[in-house]
Amino acid sequence: MKTYDVKCPICGHVNHNLFLEETDGWMECEKCRSMARSENFGEMIRLPIVKLKPYSEYKAAHA
């Protein structure tokens, strides 16, 4: 199981060692508690920082 370091799109805090594969890309920022999802974490093997969309944008795009 790989872990990822993910930068929160809301507050910029870097969340370490997230199991994105278990959550299908979802993470909850440990600092501001925002929900965000990466749509391409599987391709980010070499990059420590994963780009995320805010939860509100995800909801709007999938409404």
Among 4, 6, 8, 52, binds Zn ion (CB under 5 A): 8
Contact between 13 and Zn ion by CB under 5 A: the answer reads yes
Kindly state the smallest distance separating residue 8's Cβ from Zn ion, in Å: 3
Token digits of residue 26: 């979802």
User: Judged by CB under 5 A, which stretch of 10-18, 19-27, 38-46, 47-55 contacts Zn ion?
Assistant: 10-18
Q: Which is nearer to Zn ion, 10 or 44 (CB)?
A: 10
DSSP per-residue codes, 1-47: ---EEEE-TTT-PEEEEE-TTTTTTEEE-TTT--EEE-S-GGG-SS-
